[in-house]
Structure 1
Amino acid sequence: MGVTIRDIAEKTGVSITTISQILNGKGSRFSEATRNKVFQTAKDLAYKPNFFAKNMVTNQTNTIGMIVPEVTDPFFSQMVKGAEDYLNAHDYMILLCNSSQDSTREDLYVEELLHRAVDGLIIASPNILASNVFTQLETLHKPYILLDRKRHHREEGNIFIDDYEGGYMATEHLVALRHTKIGIITSDDSFYSVEERLQGYQGCLTKHGISASTTWIMEGDQTMSGGYIATKKLLETTDITALFVTNDQMVVGAYRAALELGITIPEDLSIVGFDDIELAEYMAPTLTTVRQPIYDIGKTAAEYLLRAIQNPTEKMANKKMPLKLIVRESAKRLEAE
């Protein structure tokens, strides 16, 4: 059994009521000597307050709820790590929920996390939660941070990247390497961020006077197998020389599809990805990709949320996270015919 307030009382001769008030930050009326004696004894005995009892006194749990669409996805696992490292350094714990890209499940998780009295929520999802969920969050004055979703929901406190810019950046790199037959692996338009990357791809081709064929665009699930199936279908039906894959996890499948078809990267097919997950620099050949600062996005979300908890009236500026093209070995200059 752990150390209790009664143990501290027996050691110090101070009443249980006085010790409780001091340890809960309500002991200013007691002498400095008494407060110091209580704190030092609690430290010596390695006392930890009962979690639920403390919650009843302070109305805080020091717990943050975080919802991600797929915890096994390297992108989201890195984002969670960024948030968790920051929160742990500030004595907060994460309750992590994996929605498996199910919007109904997301709504349920929000309800359950609120029921468990989390101090705030970080929601990373391409889906749009039911409006009554946002109403409930705002009615309860529960701080929350939204990631990877449309930014029109509220005007401040958004953390985002410019997906159009990223799609444009990836495509322009391939155009600079003299490619004019550039395909793209994307996903359905419910993933608005990927849709914006597609628009960036199309905008870049238009600017450079390249007439894009609709056959160069192939949709797939945002998984390795989704990338494999979509890339194989695209390569079997087109004569593209370059490919922009809208997330790095799908690129793993794209590499496998090219291998099975006897297509060598980058000699026969140049590839650019998006995200720069850890695996990207260990692929063969190493992957050229658009890096978004995944860890820092999670860390910044946690920082914003704690500020919102501690200063609920503070207005927070939107934060656009930087993108950077990381040039490695998977794309090469097309030789003139």
Structure 2
Amino acid sequence: MSGINIKKLALELNLSAATVSRALRDSYEISTETKQKVWAMAKKLNYEPNPSASNLRSQKSKTIAVIIPEVANNFFSQAINGIEEIARTRDYHVLIYQTHENSETEIAFIQRLLSGRVDGILISISKETDDNQLFKEIIKDIPVIFFDRVFKDIDAVKITTDDYESTYNATLHLIDCGCKKIAYLMGLSNLETGKKRIDGYTAALNDNDIAYKNELIMADCTDDDENYQQIKKLLITEKPDGIISSIEELALPCYYACKDLNLNIPADVKIISFSNLKTAPLLNPSLTTITQPAFEMGKEAATILFKILDKKYFESNETLILKSTLIKRGSTRCE
């Protein structure tokens, strides 16, 4: 039988490609029973290892991969700049993969990269991703650094920002400016990042004796027009005096909705958003932002990856937390 590769072997055995690969290499991480099953199936199907792939594994490809939800997002474009700055000093190429928030696309990219095409992976997981099992497998085969959007329960280096504290302080800023009915536009609810952000909002309300109301929470969806319509409906029905957008994509629809409804920002409603938009100061009024240290995060992630590749980094499970900055501008001006 010709054309048998690790992927097909894995399919026959109902195992992951990573497990089959390690079994074929007689890895200590795989049980003797599993190895014997894999070897028996490989023999039965006349599997022959790809010598070029083995060579790639034993040599450096001088390439790293960055897997992100979207390049157009200002945060990720700045993080890539930080990664590339470090990679250039090491004479490494950087391959960029966009998942467009699709977990299946993410998995396909990762499985492709396990062939030895890259020496390491930097990843910010898609908002659809809720299973870390594949990642637990691949980190045994290739160095992986998680940044910004990470799994809580995985033994790997994770670099995040202070999402809870950032949202807490943003909510506090609105309360200090007199807001008593603060709406929250929720994104990334599936991920640890999103959970920490809404926890910060909830805690700030609680600490200031303001009741949490489900009616003031809006969950984002994939359709831009639907998000806009939801924001408009929220402004009409609930009449919030403050809005916190937990993701950058929902900030501008707030401005459009307020304009359509003849609401004045900040007199009628004050707006804060997580955002790395370079045009935030140019909006009318300028947008108050929770700005993440995206460039620094990219640099830090790449620096640690290269330390791992150089065998100079021994902390296999560590979370580094970088601080975001609340930049107060016109959209939350206190009267």
User: What TM-score do you get using the length of structure 2 for normalisation?
Assistant: 0.77
Alignment root-mean-square deviation, CA: 2.3
Give the superposition deviation at 1:133. Answer: 4.1
Rounded Cα–Cα distance in structure 2 between residues aligned with 1:108 and 1:57:
19
**Aligned equivalent of 1:250:** 250
Rounded Cα–Cα distance in structure 1 between residues aligned with 2:90 and 2:249:
32
* TM alignment of 1:203-214, pairs within 5 A: 203-214=203-214
Q: Is the 8 A contact 2:82 2:297 kept in 1?
A: yes
Rounded Cα–Cα distance in structure 2 between residues aligned with 1:170 and 1:124:
24
- SS of the equivalent of 2:334 reads coil
Letter in 2 for 1:150: F
Rounded Cα–Cα distance in structure 1 between residues aligned with 2:188 and 2:325:
25
Give the superposition deviation at 1:122. Answer: 0.4
**Aligned equivalent of 1:333:** 334
- SS of the equivalent of 1:233 reads helix
Give the superposition deviation at 1:284. Answer: 1.6
5+ unaligned residues in a row in structure 2: which ranges? 1-51
Give the superposition deviation at 1:223. Answer: 7.7
Give the superposition deviation at 1:188. Answer: 5.9
**Aligned equivalent of 2:152:** 151
> May I ask how many residue pairs the two structures share in their alignment?
279
**Aligned equivalent of 2:134:** 132
Q: Is the 8 A contact 1:164 1:197 kept in 2?
A: yes
Q: Is the 8 A contact 1:224 1:251 kept in 2?
A: no
**Aligned equivalent of 1:92:** 92
Give the superposition deviation at 1:272. Answer: 0.8
Deviates more, 1:218-227 or 1:73-82: 218-227
**Aligned equivalent of 1:273:** 273
Q: Is the 8 A contact 2:166 2:197 kept in 1?
A: yes
Q: Is the 8 A contact 1:228 1:255 kept in 2?
A: no
Q: Is the 8 A contact 2:185 2:245 kept in 1?
A: yes
- The sequence identity of aligned pairs, in percent, is 27
- SS of the equivalent of 2:122 reads strand
Rounded Cα–Cα distance in structure 1 between residues aligned with 2:188 and 2:293:
24
Seen in structure 2, the aligned counterparts of structure 1 residues 222 and 191 have a Cα distance that, compared at 3 Å, is: farther
Structure with max Cα Rg: 1
Deviates more, 1:145-154 or 1:60-69: 145-154
**Aligned equivalent of 1:285:** 285
Seen in structure 2, the aligned counterparts of structure 1 residues 224 and 271 have a Cα distance that, compared at 3 Å, is: farther
Rounded Cα–Cα distance in structure 1 between residues aligned with 2:133 and 2:269:
45
* TM alignment of 1:157-172, pairs within 5 A: 157-172=157-172
Seen in structure 2, the aligned counterparts of structure 1 residues 241 and 76 have a Cα distance that, compared at 3 Å, is: same
* TM alignment of 1:1-337, pairs within 5 A: 59-125=59-125, 126=127, 127-138=129-140, 140=141, 142-147=142-147, 148-154=149-155, 157-187=157-187, 189-221=189-221, 225=225, 227-311=227-311, 314-315=314-315, 317-333=318-334
Seen in structure 2, the aligned counterparts of structure 1 residues 241 and 328 have a Cα distance that, compared at 3 Å, is: same
Summarize deviations over 1:224-267 as a string: whole Å, max 9, x none.
Answer: 65652332121011121111111223101111111111111112
5+ unaligned residues in a row in structure 1: which ranges? 1-51
Seen in structure 2, the aligned counterparts of structure 1 residues 315 and 259 have a Cα distance that, compared at 3 Å, is: same
Seen in structure 2, the aligned counterparts of structure 1 residues 225 and 170 have a Cα distance that, compared at 3 Å, is: farther
Letter in 2 for 1:81: N
Rounded Cα–Cα distance in structure 2 between residues aligned with 1:307 and 1:222:
37
Summarize deviations over 1:126-145 as a string: whole Å, max 9, x none.
Answer: 4245513431330x2x1110
Q: Is the 8 A contact 2:62 2:119 kept in 1?
A: yes
Q: Is the 8 A contact 1:185 1:227 kept in 2?
A: no
User: What TM-score do you get using the length of structure 1 for normalisation?
Assistant: 0.76
Rounded Cα–Cα distance in structure 2 between residues aligned with 1:226 and 1:76:
24
